[in-house]
Amino acid sequence: MHPDEDRIMLCTIFFDYDLVYGDQTLLFKMSKSIYKSIDKYNIFLNFLALNALKNPPPLSFFRQFVVEQDGKHKDEFDLKARAMMPLVDAARLLILSNGIKNCNSTLERFEKLAQLEPQNKDLYISCSNAFKVLLRFRTVDGLMDQDSGRFLNLKTLNKADKLKLKSCFKPIKDLQELVSTRFRLSQMF
């Protein structure tokens, strides 16, 4: 079986598992099996790293928001795909690469990474703060529009909110550079 975009996406969702009910030993066995496979096939992390970089930083060269070009959400900003998923995917990848088990929320992952890698602590704290701001934007917009809050109509944001949103994008760019360097993605293909 060869990794493709759909298989990687299904796989990444799987790594966010958590026990809700039942025998906790099954969770430990599953975690042990996952990490054993990752150790055996370390190229897998490179494919997860490529997936974590598939959404580039959400600003154009002229520091304008990258918005949807067509369809139902034309001229809207995809908060989930362009801002939140790069943080989620990178945090998951870095936790897996460090062999940390049972750390399954993005905020928890950034906190743990800040402890594990003091040289990158400021970056991970910035990523955590950015994720919290993005969650707030998504929640507020979702409540106002009675939907998921995934797509933001930028015309409804004031200048201060646009600046606050843009400030979340620098940690994304820095985190993606760290992932690219750490997993030597420029040498992969």
Each residue's pLDDT tens digit, 8-48: 767 777 777 777 888 889 888 888 888 888 888 878 888 88
Judge whether residue 189 has pLDDT over 60.
no
pLDDT band, residue 57 (cuts 50/70/90): confident
Average pLDDT rounded to a whole number, residues 139-163:
94
Average pLDDT rounded to a whole number, residues 71-85:
93
Q: For position 4, what pLDDT does the model report?
A: 65
In the chain, the number of structural domains is: 1
> What percent of the residues of the chain are helix, what percent strand, and what percent coil, each to the nearest 5?
65, 5, 30
In degrees to the nearest 10, what's the CA dihedral of 111, 105, 76, 47? 90
Q: For position 130, what pLDDT does the model report?
A: 97
Beta bridge partners of 152: 77
What is the pTM assigned to this prediction?
0.89
Average pLDDT rounded to a whole number, residues 110-135:
98
Q: For position 27, what pLDDT does the model report?
A: 82
Task: Write the CA distances from 16 to 53, 107, 109, 160, integer angstroms.
Answer: 18, 12, 11, 33
Domain span including residue 21: 5-187
Q: Do residues 114 and 156 make contact, with C-beta atoms less than 8 angstroms apart?
A: no
Q: How far apart are CA 15 and CA 102, in angstroms?
A: 10
